[in-house]
Amino acid sequence: MSRQALVIGIGTGNPDHLTLEAVAALNRVDVFLVADKGTAKQDLIGLRTEICRQVISHDRYRVIEVPDPERGPDRGRNTVQYQDAVQRWHRERAARYADIIRAEVGGDGTVGFLVWGDPALYDSTIRIVQSIRDHGRLPLELTVIPGISSLSLLAARHKIILNRVGQPIHITTGRRLVEEYHPGLGDVAVMLDGDLSCSRLVHDHPELGIFWGAQLGLADEVLISGALAEMIEPIQRARAELRAARGWVMDTYLLRPPADNG
C-alpha cells in the first residue's frame, strides 16, 4: 500500500464549520504536518491543534511543526519575480515535507494537511503535495476534502449574495486588484490583500460599496460594510488593531458597484 495524503479544508478555524467529511478525514490521519511561520503566527498552529483535539476521537495522531522556508518580501516584485519566488518557496516546502513524511509516516500511513478555508481557493497545498508525488520524491495517494471558504462565510455574515442576478463575480488578489479593476467586472471578491489595495480605488471609484470581514468565525471577528470611500479608514484602523492584538490578520472583502450596495 502507498502512503495516503489528505488535504483537508478546515474553514476559518471554527470547529463548528467543519464538514462531516472533514471530521471523518481528520480521524484517519496518523501525522499532521503544519507550517511553522514563526512566533507571530504561532497562534495559527494552536487553532489547528485545538480543532484536532475537539473532533478526533483517538490519541494516536501526531502534529509535527515544519519550519517554513524564507520567502522574502513580495512588495516591489514584478509578476515574473513574484511567480519565481513562490515556485522556489513551494519546491523548498515540498522537499522539507517529503523528508519528514519519509521519516515519520509508515509505508501504509496517512499524512494530513490542514488548510484554512477551502483547498481549491488561493492555497498552495495541493500543488505542493502533487510536487512531492509527481517529481518522484515520494509516492502519495492524494485525497482533497473541501472546506467552507472565507468568501462563503463573508457573505453569510453580511447576509448578502456574492453575485447579483445573472451577473458575474470576479475573484482576485490584492496584488492584482488595481490593475484589473473596472466596473464591468461586476462584484469583485478580493483575497490576500495585506495592503488594502482597494484604498487606491477610492479616487476613481468613490461610489463602490465594500463588505469586509476579518478573523471570520473566530471570537475576534470584525465586520464592516458601507461606501468604500467612507469605510476605508475604519477598516484600516480595525485591521491594525487586530494585527497588534494577534500578530496576524486574515481578512477578505467584496467590492460592489453602486447598482446594489445592500
Mark the ranges of the chain whose per-residue pLDDT is less than 50.
260-262
Give per-residue pLDDT as tens, 197-210. 999 999 999 999 99
Number of C-beta neighbours around residue 48 at 10 A:
20
Reading the block at residue 88, the C-alpha cell is: 522556489
DSSP assignment, residue 117?
A: B
Per-residue model confidence (pLDDT) at position 87: 84
Give per-residue pLDDT as tens, 165-182. 888 999 999 999 999 999
DSSP assignment, residue 197?
A: G
Per-residue model confidence (pLDDT) at position 133: 83
Single out the residue of 183, 189, 175 nearest to residue 254, CA to CA.
189
Per-residue model confidence (pLDDT) at position 261: 45
Domains in the chain (CATH in brackets) are 3-145 (3.40.1010.10), 150-260 (3.30.950.10)
Question: How deeply is 89 buried, as exposed, middle or buried, from its count of CB atoms within 10 A (0-12, 13-18, 19+)?
Answer: middle
Distance CA 150, CA 22 (A): 16
Helix, strand, coil percent values for the chain (each to nearest 5) = 40, 25, 35
Distance CA 231, CA 244 (A): 20
